[in-house]
Structure formats: structure tokens, C-alpha cells
């Protein structure tokens, strides 16, 4: 087993909270969340117990993809506030020992970025080679939102490449000027005092046209090292969004390589779905298998792993794989325990802390996401209207992008005092922070306890992971530190007996009463602690 260095181990102390600013809190009542809204909630984040914030893009953007189409990397979007607001936010977070990570969208810009505006003007424009242009739409790649990855541009009669939507042309990273520009962007934000970056679609920056590979080309390592040279030197946290398999994770996250700290690994998202918009039967034992595989793999090699069930691109895990109606509290807290006591870095997504669920709408007019709308348009003849809406309600990224429901007061539930950019959550009256915190089954209060337990016990951060064999239908594992061993017991949907001997004192559970024997009720969890003799 390879040991994780002390230098790297400190990242296991992080608990990151992801903010999608547009839907977090609107301070000036224009219907769009903003940075002052985030500033208002910094003490709330402290109270919850996180120590880092990942801010989704808040740069200037025409918002074809809610900020992931950046038109100026060195700016703050007007609708989100000013640079002074950003500075205040950073200072307030830092004053409370909370780090700030920015979202680096390095694979593509907006069509409105000045580089692209120049690039499309003529074939001999100095910016032409900042992007990929071709006389023919070849290789025949598909973009991630469906359809061809090439868009014809009348201006010069050529096609440009876009891995995501056509409003997001891919930067040509084979051009050293592009790499230099992006290095400057990274260093600009380091100068501003950020503590790290979440790197959007990072493996797409290296393409292999000859082999027909749209991402993970051999030059990825060289590019990443170049762009993050200073970030690595200064010990910043760098998490990449990559199509990561065992080989590529080792290659890009190995400590000596000076590339990334860790990557998001998405295997657990494919459970319970045939494709993005189609559910499939599943068992939570598949989840256990996946998690054990990655725990063992990363631990053995001294690598860091990311722990997350939710983000701004995914329907809520609780709704997909748990019971979001009559066992909402139990399944929310069970997923929290299963994931966040593993070895790795927890990432919470806004709303998760009060047990947010997927909403439900009848018509496409309630949706804003570019991917969802494209899917709707492309499939309207294939399915009946109700079948199609069922699929969209199941898989749309807008599931996670509804305004936070801070209070129990309709119609805006504390997000704003005006209609928001996207309709409020259809279940906000029932699922909101205020109601949750008043309840004796509060998901928020459970997260506070869970995160405090992690914070106060190094075994739950740095300790070794071992899965215990207790059959199907439950997940039992240990975290062994220098002085203590924690046993984490998570039952799945059905009541069952789980027999354990000598596991010590119970330090956390999600049922108020004891079952009185070794019976575990649906989604019941228990954490036990014992001293090593
Ligand atoms: C991944 C981001 O998480 C997503 O929201 C975005 O649409 C794409 N990358 C394109 O930037």
C-alpha cells in the first residue's frame, strides 16, 4: 500500500460545499441569485460545518449554459455583482477559515468571447487558431448535448468544433498561445487569493484527431502541468471533471506528477438509469460494489477520492435511489452517512443539507437548461407528451437548479422577492430549510452532527477503509485510525438483522428510538466507536 503524504493528507480535512450562484440567494430581488446573496449566507455555511466553497462560474457570460459559456474569464458577471463583492465574499469566507474554489472552464469559451469573435472573422485572423476550424465536419464527433459537434459558420464558410453546445466553441489547446492565455487566467485568480479550482471537462482539452478521441489525448498531462505549475507550487486544491478510469486517475493524480489533486469519478451515477433520461431497475448493492472498488483502488495507491451524491448537473440522488416521499429523512441521512464517512473529500451540493428532492412539472416551459430543451426538441416525435415529460422530470439538470427554499413562505421561499429566472421548486412548501430545521427529524441537524464527527475524529478523515462482509442489503465498513476504529453500518431499504460484536459505543444514528435488538429498520444507520487496545 502506498502512503499518502502528509502534504496531501491535509486535503482529507476538506468538506466542500458547491454553490450554483444563480439559484442560491437573490439579494437584490431581480430573480437571479448573486454574490451578495452568498455573502449573506457565509455564517450559515459555517454553522453547517463545511470549510470550503466551490463557486460555479460567476464570470461574464451570455448564459447559453448558465455561465459555463464564459465571455470574459477575468470578470464578474454584472447580474452577480461586482469584483468588490467577490473580494468581500472571499474575505468573509477566509475570516471563517472557509476556502474558496473557482470553476475553471478551460475546454471552451462562449461564442461571445473576444477570442472567438476575432477567430470567426477571417481565416488569417491572429485568433483563428485559438479554436478548431475545418472545411468539413470531420471527424464525425457528436457533442455531449446531442447532434454533431461541428457547427457551420457562414462568415468564413467553415465548421468549428464544440464538445458541448454550439454556443461553446472548443479552444485549440495544441496552440501554445491558448495554453499561455489559460495559464494567465489561472494565475490571475491565484493573485486574487483563491485556494483552488474545479476544472470543467478537463480531459477534453487534449484531443487526438488521428485516433478519433475527443478527450484524454496523450498531451493532457503536458497541458495540465503547464497551466497549473504555479497552482501546484503553492499547494492549491485542484479537482478535475474527467471521464476517469483507473489508469487515467493514476496518471493525472499521482502526487509526483504535479497535475491534479483528485478527480470526480462518476461510476455511481450510472446506477439506476439506462441513459440520462431513462430509469433502470437497480439495487443499492451495486452502489456498495462501486464504492468499495474505488475506495480500495485509491487507498492502495495513496490517491485521493471525491465523495458526492449531488451536483448541478444531476437529479437529486435521494429522489433517484432513495425514498423521497415517506422515508425522505431516513434515506437522505443514510446516503449522507454512506458517502461522507468514506475515505475521501466530501462535496455537498446546495439543498442537499435539508433533504432536497426532485420537483415535477407538466410542461417544458418550466425548464431552462440547454441540454434539456435540446432533448425535448429532438424527442418530441418519438414519445407522447406525457412520456417525454416523465423522462425530463427524471433526468433534467434543472432538477438541481431550482432556487434554494430557505423559508416556508410562498411564493418565493426566501430565495427572492420576485419571480425567479426558473420557476420555484414544485415541492418547496413541504421541503425547505426552515421547516426542516424546526422538525425533530432535521436533515440539516443530522449533517451538522455528521460533519462534526468527521471534524473531531481523524480516523474518519485519514483512517484506513475496510469493507466488512455482512451480506447483501446493507453496507458495513470500518475506518481505522491510530487510536480508534469506527464501524459504519448502513442498512438499505428492507428491515434486516446485522450482527456485530465488540464495535463499541454508538456515536451516531438516524432513528430516535433503539430497535432493541440487532434489527435495522429501512435506511437505518449507526456509527460505533471503539479504542484500539
Ligand atoms: C460540465 C458542467 O458541470 C456543466 O454544467 C456544463 O454544462 C458543461 N460542463 C459544459 O461546460
Rounded (10°) angle between helices 328-340 and 443-456: 20
Cβ–Cβ < 8 Å for 485, 479:
yes
Is pLDDT above 90 for 3?
no
Task: Examine the pLDDT at 214 and tell me if it is beyond 90.
Answer: yes
Structure confidence at residue 78 (pLDDT): 98
Tell me whether residue 526 is exposed, middle or buried, using C-beta atoms within 10 angstroms of its C-beta: 0 to 12, 13 to 18, 19 or more. Answer: buried
Q: Which of 170, 200, 263 to mutate to test the pocket of ligand 1 (most atoms within 8 A of CB)?
A: 200
Distance 296 CA to ligand 1 centre (A): 29
Helix (H, G, I), strand (E, B) or coil at 146: coil
Whole-number pLDDT of residue 533: 85
Cα 200 to ligand 1 centroid, rounded to whole Å: 6
The position carrying cell 433502470 is 280
* pLDDT tier at 2, thresholds 50, 70, 90: confident
Average pLDDT over residues 375-402: 97
Q: Which of 69, 158, 167, 200 is catalytic?
A: 200
Ligand 1: atom nearest CA of 68 is 11
Q: In angstroms, what is the span from residue 496 Cα to ligand 1's centroid?
A: 41
> What is the average pLDDT value for the chain, to the nearest integer?
97
Q: What is the model's pLDDT at position 517?
A: 83
Q: Residue 403 — very low, low, confident or very high, per pLDDT cuts 50/70/90?
A: very high
Q: Cα–Cα distance between 345 and 198 in angstroms, integer?
A: 13
The helix-helix angle for 176-192 and 220-227 (nearest 10°) equals 40
- C-alpha 72: how far from chain center: 23
Mutate to test the pocket of ligand 1, among 62, 68, 103 (most ligand atoms within 8 A of CB): 68
pTM, 2 dp: 0.98
Instruction: Kindly report whether the peptide bond that precedes residue 411 is cis, defined as omega within 30 degrees of 0.
Output: yes
Q: What is the pLDDT of residue 224?
A: 96
Tell me the three cell numbers of residue 191.
493573485
In ligand 1, which atom is closest to the CA atom of 69? Answer: 11
The answer to whether the CB of 199 falls within 8 A of the CB of 106 is yes
pLDDT digits (tens, 9 = 90+) for 320-365: 999 999 999 999 999 999 999 999 999 999 999 999 999 999 999 9
Q: Which of the listed residues 313, 370, 400 should we mutate to test ligand 1's pocket, taking the one with most ligand atoms within 8 A of CB?
A: 313
In tens, the pLDDT along 257-281 reads 899 999 999 999 999 999 999 999 9
Residues whose CB falls within 8 Å of the CB of residue 111, separated by 6 or more in sequence, listed in order: 62, 64, 69, 117, 166, 167, 168, 169
pLDDT at 67: 98
Segments of 447-483 assigned E as strands: 464-468, 474-480
Please tell me which residue in 18, 69, 151, 241 is annotated as part of the active site. Answer: 241
| Confidence (pLDDT) at 248 | 86
**What average pLDDT score do residues 182-189 get?**
98
Summarize pLDDT for 478-522 with one digit per residue, the tens. Answer: 999 999 999 999 999 999 999 999 999 999 999 999 887 899 999
Separation of alpha carbons 488 and 460, rounded Å: 10
Q: What whole-number distance in Å separates Cα of residue 79 and Cα of residue 30?
A: 9
**CA-nearest residue, atom 6 of ligand 1:** 68
CA distance linking residue 100 with residue 479, whole number of Å: 28
pLDDT for the residue 167: 98
200 noted as active-site residue: yes
Closest-lying ligand 1 atom to the alpha carbon of residue 105: 11
Q: At 316, list the grid cell.
A: 437529486
Confidence (pLDDT) at 516: 78
Q: So what's the pLDDT on residue 148?
A: 97
Residue 335 has a pLDDT of: 98
Atom number, ligand 1, closest to the C-alpha of residue 201: 9
Residue identifier of the C-alpha nearest atom 2 of ligand 1: 200
Evaluate whether 262 touches 253 at the Cβ level (below 8 Å): yes
Amino acid at each position: 500500500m502506498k502512503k499518502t503524504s502528509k502534504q496531501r493528507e491535509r486535503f482529507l480535512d476538506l468538506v466542500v460545499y458547491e454553490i450554483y450562484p444563480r439559484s442560491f440567494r437573490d439579494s437584490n430581488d431581480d430573480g437571479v441569485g448573486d454574490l451578495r446573496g452568498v455573502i449573506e449566507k457565509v455564517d450559515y455555511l459555517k454553522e453547517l460545518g463545511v470549510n470550503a466553497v466551490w463557486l460555479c462560474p460567476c464570470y461574464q457570460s451570455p448564459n447559453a449554459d448558465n455561465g459555463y459559456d464564459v465571455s470574459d474569464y477575468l470578470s464578474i458577471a454584472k447580474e452577480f455583482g461586482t469584483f468588490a463583492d467577490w473580494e468581500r465574499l472571499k474575505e468573509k469566507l477566509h475570516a471563517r477559515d472557509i476556502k474558496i474554489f473557482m470553476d475553471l472552464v478551460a475546454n471552451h469559451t462562449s461564442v461571445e468571447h473576444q477570442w472567438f469573435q476575432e477567430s470567426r472573422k477571417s481565416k488569417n485572423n491572429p485568433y483563428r487558431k485559438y479554436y478548431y476550424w475545418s472545411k468539413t465536419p470531420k471527424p464525425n464527433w457528436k457533442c455531449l448535448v446531442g447532434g454533431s459537434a461541428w457547427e457551420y459558420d457562414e462568415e468564413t464558410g467553415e465548421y468549428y468544433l464544440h464538445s458541448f453546445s454550439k454556443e461553446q466553441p472548443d479552444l485549440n489547446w495544441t496552440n501554445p498561445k491558448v495554453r499561455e492565455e489559460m495559464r494567465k487566467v489561472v494565475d490571475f485568480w491565484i493573485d486574487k487569493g483563491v485556494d483552488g479550482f474545479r476544472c470543467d471537462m478537463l480531459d477534453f482539452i487534449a484531443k487526438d484527431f488521428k485516433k478519433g478521441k475527443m478527450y484524454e489525448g496523450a498531451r493532457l498531462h503536458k497541458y495540465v502541468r503547464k497551466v497549473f505549475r504555479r497552482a501546484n507550487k503553492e499547494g492549491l486544491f485542484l479537482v478535475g471533471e474527467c471521464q476517469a478510469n483507473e489508469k487515467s486517475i493514476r496518471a493525472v493524480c499521482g502526487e509526483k506528477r504535479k497535475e491534479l489533486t483528485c478527480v470526480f469519478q462518476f461510476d455511481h451515477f450510472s446506477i439506476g438509469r439506462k441513459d440520462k433520461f431513462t430509469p433502470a431497475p437497480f439495487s443499492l448493492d451495486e452502489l456498495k460494489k462501486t464504492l468499495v472498488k474505488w475506495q480500495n483502488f485509491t487507498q492502495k495507491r495513496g490517491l485521493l477520492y471525491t465523495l458526492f451524491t449531488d451536483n448541478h448537473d444531476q437529479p437529486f440522488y435521494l429522489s433517484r435511489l432513495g425514498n423521497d416521499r415517506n422515508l425522505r429523512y431516513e434515506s437522505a441521512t443514510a446516503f449522507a452517512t454512506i458517502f461522507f464517512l468514506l475515505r475521501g473529500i466530501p462535496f455537498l451540493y446546495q439543498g442537499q443539507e435539508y433533504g432536497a428532492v426532485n420537483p415535477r412539472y407538466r410542461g417544458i416551459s418550466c425548464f431552462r437548461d440547454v441540454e434539456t430543451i435540446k432533448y425535448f426538441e429532438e424527442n418530441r416525435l418519438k414519445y407522447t407528451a406525457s412520456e417525454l415529460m416523465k423522462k425530463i422530470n427524471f433526468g433534467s439538470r434543472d432538477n438541481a437548479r431550482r432556487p434554494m427554499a430557505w423559508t416556508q413562505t410562498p411564493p418565493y421561499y426566501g430565495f427572492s422577492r420576485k419571480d425567479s429566472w426558473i420557476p420555484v421548486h414544485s415541492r418547496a412548501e413541504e421541503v425547505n430549510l426552515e421547516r426542516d430545521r424546526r422538525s425533530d427529524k432535521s436533515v440539516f441537524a443530522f449533517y451538522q452532527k455528521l460533519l462534526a464527527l468527521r471534524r473531531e475524529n481523524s480516523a474518519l478523515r485519514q483512517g484506513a477503509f475496510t469493507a466488512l462482509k455482512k451480506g447483501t442489503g446493507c453496507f458495513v465498513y470500518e475506518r481505522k485510525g491510530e487510536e480508534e476504529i469506527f464501524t459504519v453500518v448502513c442498512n438499505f431499504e428492507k428491515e434486516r438483522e446485522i450482527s456485530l460484536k465488540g464495535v463499541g459505543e454508538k456515536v451516531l444514528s438516524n432513528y430516535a428510538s433503539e430497535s432493541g435488538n440487532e434489527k435495522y429498520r429501512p435506511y437505518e444507520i449507526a456509527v460505533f466507536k471503539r479504542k484500539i487496545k
